[in-house]
Chain A
């Protein structure tokens, strides 16, 4: 045998302890995922309803004939802001790398882009490449809060208001189910009516609304609220996707470790058998030599 049986035994022990760790990580991720999943489900209706109202207000504002408030107008420039959501911690399979790959593709396509980064993984990646970014939000924990979303959206909104860029795009991973996550690019500012989800809440024709104090004032309140809702939703979706990706990665790791252990056990037994056979042959040989 190429490997001594003691060496094989040591490898089995080491892989077993790795397997215990990955198993534990899988279970931790699964437990956290359950909570994150509930949050995702409870966040979506708010966002849809807000988008729906926004579509109505925008439509009314355009029909009113007044000029839209500055914040709602489409700008002619071509400077982008990309908000990227990654995780703080790794060991989540391809979750972060696919996010970063998408971000880089976006940067190639739109060279005049400022980035706002959420999560340590993207920050470390772009810092290593000496890529600058406007702001970073790291160590947000496993339980995204509204306050965090408010901080992030306020920064972006302030920059946008001051004309630092003309378009804001969010790059995040949408949680579809435990194994399926989809990378999504969502244009949030300026508001594009076509980007808003279809009217699926009210039935029949939209009623004629009264706007207090004015259409534009309502629009000006709604836009920051919409941005905040979009950021919060992305935070929540990204977290659920991260946990789902980690759970799957860890489950695969556990399965692979199991296979490896099985194989090594076989090799170990074979080596042990060979050793015993060899010893018996030696003894028999020795006894034969004494007798003759």
Chain B
């Protein structure tokens, strides 16, 4: 088994700390994967899904609200803005957030903070994607 250490932390807690064979991360230019023995690397991460686990077979998922990753000496650390494991996601709340964001985007008032509403919608979509594909 060629595994390496994988850790996701937010300021409040350690979301996950485990040994994995493969991690897929949402980079700013698209998804990328990391295997054992990767060169030292730092990357900016955007809103999206992290998948981790065995090379083949069932992987676990994390909804990531942007952040930063660092890989060196076979230790991958993700410092996340926000991060939730699939099983921790409150699907009902995410659905409500999605509807709320859609509503706000559809009635275009002038005082609307457009980018924020869009961001909220994307966050909700990522959460739902992670939770329901599990």
Contact = CB atoms under 8 A, between A and B. Distances in A.
B48 interface: no
B11 A210 contact: no
Given A43-B11, A146-B10, A229-B11, A210 B68 contact: no
A53 B67 CA distance: 13
Contacts of B70: 53
A43 B11 CA distance: 6
Contact of B40 (A46, A50, A208): A208
B41 A228 contact: no
A103 interface: no
Nearest to B44: A221
Contacts of A209: 40-42, 72
A222 B69 CA distance: 10
Contacts of A229: 11
Interface in A166-225: 202, 207-213, 217-218, 220-222, 225
Contacts of A207: 40, 72-73
Contact of B44 (A208, A210, A212): A212
Interface string B52-81: 000000000000001110101100010101
Interface stretch (B26-34, B93-101, B103-111, B121-129): B26-34
B13 A221 contact: no
Contact of A42 (B13, B67, B77): B13
A198 B6 CA distance: 24
A56 B40 CA distance: 12
Given A221-B66, A225-B68, A146 B12 contact: yes
A161 to B, nearest CB: 13
Interface in A206-262: 207-213, 217-218, 220-222, 225, 228-229, 232-233
A149 interface: yes
Given A46-B11, A212-B32, A232-B11, A53 B68 contact: yes
B68 A218 contact: yes
A144 to B, nearest CB: 10
A43 B9 CA distance: 11
Contact of B39 (A43, A49, A150, A210): A210
Contacts of A233: 11
A178 B67 CA distance: 34
Contacts of A222: 44, 68
A203 to B, nearest CB: 10
27 contacts: A46-B9, A46-B79, A49-B77, A49-B79, A53-B42, A53-B70, A57-B42, A145-B12, A146-B12, A149-B11, A150-B81, A202-B72, A209-B41, A209-B42, A209-B72, A210-B39, A210-B40, A211-B43, A212-B29, A212-B42, A212-B44, A213-B28, A213-B44, A218-B42, A218-B68, A221-B67, A221-B68
Interface of A: 42-43, 46-47, 49-50, 53, 56-57, 145-146, 149-150, 202, 207-213, 217-218, 220-222, 225, 228-229, 232-233
Interface of B: 9-13, 27-29, 32, 39-45, 66-68, 70, 72-73, 77, 79, 81-82
Given A42-B13, A209-B41, 20 more contacts: A47-B11, A49-B77, A53-B68, A57-B42, A146-B11, A146-B12, A207-B40, A207-B72, A210-B41, A211-B41, A211-B42, A212-B28, A212-B29, A212-B43, A213-B29, A217-B44, A220-B44, A221-B28, A222-B68, A225-B79
